[in-house]
Homo-oligomer: A and B are copies of this chain.
């Protein structure tokens, strides 16, 4: 068996999420089905992060194990040919050691969250950004974001369905920057809780709207209580950007 690491880009709009589901299309199934067609083998694809329905990836990392001899470049081209017309593309493919695991070997994950801070309805970015009509104070958001950086119990920012053993995570980076009517939140950590990025972004938007102060955010974090969450941002604006090994 040869293990291949894949770098995958996908538009999450038509998918129920990364993970294979009985009731709808998933990115995992699209890749596994394409790999099975190429190899004649039942292939399992593991990813660095299992994104939710409607969440996107610019650089998801994943791996597959294949018995049939095939060059990485050929595998990538064959996967891309069979993935069409699904909006999933393999950007890179390389052979890795048998103990390299897309999820368990991953040392860091980076997400980007895109807010379209405008009144006009979205055209190109429908489903690819969160439209917030109220003017956001991105500097205030960036300032408040620093409250969340570091090692904390992120229970307030954790979905009820989160399967993580512990709510304690170390947030390495949380930045907010404006470029025209685009407000981008960038988050990096070794790992995240389920819905953590969307929950943090939702609360930062509360700050940006002037409905929360930096102290309100700090209080919500300290409360370690999901009921204290201000707002959970929709999946639309969330992009898995990078996995570090």
Residues on A facing B (Cβ under 8 Å): 9-11, 56, 76-77, 80, 83-84, 87-91, 118-124, 126, 128
Instruction: With both chains docked as a complex, state the minimum distance between the C-beta of A241 and any C-beta of chain B, in angstroms.
Output: 13
Q: How many copies does the complex hold?
A: 2
Instruction: With both chains docked as a complex, state the minimum distance between the C-beta of A117 and any C-beta of chain B, in angstroms.
Output: 13
Taking a contact as CB atoms under 8 Å apart, the answer to whether A124 and B91 are in contact is no
Instruction: With both chains docked as a complex, state the minimum distance between the C-beta of A213 and any C-beta of chain B, in angstroms.
Output: 30
On chain B, the residues within 8 Å of A88 by CB distance are 123
Instruction: With both chains docked as a complex, state the minimum distance between the C-beta of A100 and any C-beta of chain B, in angstroms.
Output: 22
7 nearest interchain CB pairs?
A: A87-B123, A89-B120, A11-B123, A89-B121, A11-B124, A89-B123, A91-B120
On chain B, the residues within 8 Å of A11 by CB distance are 123-124
Pick from B9, B91, B121: contact of A83, CB under 8 Å: B121
Q: How far is the CA of A9 from the CA of B120 in the complex (A)?
A: 9
Taking a contact as CB atoms under 8 Å apart, the answer to whether A121 and B84 are in contact is yes
Instruction: With both chains docked as a complex, state the minimum distance between the C-beta of A126 and any C-beta of chain B, in angstroms.
Output: 7
On chain B, the residues within 8 Å of A83 by CB distance are 121
